[in-house]
Amino acid sequence: MCPDPVPVCAALLTAPGRGAIATIGVRGIGADAIVLTYFTPRRETAPDSLPHSQIRFGTWLDPRGSDDIDSRKCPDRVGEEIVVCRIDASTIEVHCHGGDAACRAILDDLRRAGARIVPWRTWLTEGEGGSAGELRVRLAEALTDRTAGILLAQCRGAWSRDVGAIVRHLDEGRNESARRALRRLGQLIPVGRHLVAPWRVAFVGPPNVGKSSLVNRLLGHARSIVAERPGTTRDVVASLTAFDGWPVELRDTAGIRSTEDPIENEGVRRARAALDDSDLVVLVRDAGGSELPFLPDARAIRLLHVRNKIDLPASHSVNVAPTGARFDVRVSAMTGEGIGELADRIVDRLGVIPPEPDEGVPVSLAQSLAVERALDAVESGDTRRAKALLDAARGP
């Protein structure tokens, strides 16, 4: 028989799928009672509570097939061997075997006992509350060690400390210092936006210039099909990688040309759409001298002009990019020459400004808006509004 429903929630905290162990969190008033309904510790424990800051090894008995909780004492029933750990007054972790079956069985038992089963994101946001909970979710979603380090600094209070310092500047009339610090936070908005979402970099150009070969080289594996004949790539092929610890989605696109082929035409349409929808466009040309039927507007899009196939002698004099400027990078996807420089130039052109260690960074849209609006307010002399905006976005 299950106890009456209680305000307890439970969540699978480790990623679903195969693994040696998995962790299930149980939190709320009555979490002990629910866990002890199924869990029999090897060592004697008080009947209705688990000891603080200690772990207990024991057995989770599956009570299915019986309404009688005391049937767990039956010697012929086999349970799951688990470790239970009380984290704080209201939170318990159950460490069980990994894989779907064991986790599902335990979560089913918890649900039957009245626990609300929630996704791990909800577990984090409800547990920490407000912006601290959102930060914990972002930390779990960080795409690289570098971006995780920046998020960890925010979890430890870098953002709220730095914003608090700006509010103090304003309180004490140091408006110039506040303005400088807000400008710095403003510079860090793009980085904050790309801690859990990658920068998008599209490789665009005429057919056959080696766009797919370049993307494959940068990725280090043959993600896109490469062929001698033009018109090979038809779709936008997106792949996630990192340059210098910054997450980057490389988008290989169809060569842009006029064609009667409806499938290739759709590829060209998608390539043109990728132009508008990317943080940077790498415009690739080769020694053949073929050009795009149009030139992207360099005022609207960040562009990097790349000359590929420098291992081949140029049949035309292709030494300058269509803008008249020199190519930004000269590479050979075939030999690998210039590929390291290409990765560096992509990061430069994206305009990534790395924060100092332990520096505050706005990581959410609300924080970025607060920085921009507070800066506007300071510049127009409305320090009261600036303080209100920053206080609201400061978090714990």
* Contact set with Mg ion (CB under 5 A): 212, 232-233
- Identify the three-state secondary structure at position 41: strand
d(CA 285, CA 304) in angstroms, rounded, equals 11
Which of 251, 245, 138 has its CA nearest to residue 197?
138
Give which of ligand GTP, Mg ion, none residue 273 binds (C-beta under 5 to 8 Å, depending on kind).
Answer: none
For residues 186-214, b (16+ Cβ closer than 10 Å) or e, as one string?
eebbebbbbbbebbbbbbbbbbbbbbbbb
Q: How far is the CB of 331 from ligand GTP (least distance, A)?
A: 7
Alpha-carbon gap, residue 231 to 259, rounded angstroms: 10
Q: What single-letter amino acid sits at 90?
A: S
Least distance from C-beta 226 to ligand GTP, angstroms? 4
Which one, 53 or 258, has the nearer CB to Mg ion?
258
327 within 8 A of 318, measured Cβ to Cβ: no
Considering the complex, state which of residue 115 and residue 226 has its C-beta at the smaller distance from ligand GTP.
Answer: 226
Q: Which is nearer to ligand GTP, 9 or 329 (CB)?
A: 329
Q: How far is the CB of 310 from ligand GTP (least distance, A)?
A: 7
Q: Which is nearer to ligand GTP, 101 or 227 (CB)?
A: 227
Nearer to ligand GTP, 194 or 309 (CB): 309
Looking only at the bridges linking them, the beta strands covering 237-243 and 280-285 are unpaired
Separation of alpha carbons 184 and 309, rounded Å = 41
CB 214 within 8 A of CB 331: yes
SS3 365: helix
Closest CA to 256 of 283, 226, 237: 283
Q: How far is the CB of 186 from ligand GTP (least distance, A)?
A: 38
Supply the minimum distance, in Å, between the C-beta of residue 335 and Mg ion.
19
Q: How far is the CB of 223 from Mg ion (least distance, A)?
A: 11
Reduce the secondary structure of 262-276 to three states and give it as a string. Answer: HHHHHHHHHHHHHHH
Phi, psi at residue 27, to the nearest 5°?
-140, 140
* Polymer length in residues for the chain: 396
Q: Which of ligand GTP, Mg ion, none binds 308 (CB below 5-8 Å, type-dependent)?
A: ligand GTP
3-state SS, 363-380, equals CCHHHHHHHHHHHHHHHC
The DSSP symbol for 143 reads S
Which of 133, 230 has the CB closer to ligand GTP? 230
Query: 309 is in the binding site of which of Mg ion, ligand GTP, none (Cβ under 5 to 8 A by kind)?
Result: ligand GTP
Residue ranges that bind ligand GTP, judged by CB under 6 A = 207-213, 226-228, 230-233, 254-255, 308-309, 311-312, 332-334
- For ligand GTP, the closer of residues 115 and 274 by Cβ is 274
Least separation in angstroms between CB 312 and Mg ion: 17
Residue closest to 234 by CA, chosen among 247, 252, 219, 218: 252
Q: Based on CB atoms, which residue is closest to Mg ion, 233 or 383? A: 233
Nearest-approach distance from CB 292 to ligand GTP, in angstroms: 11
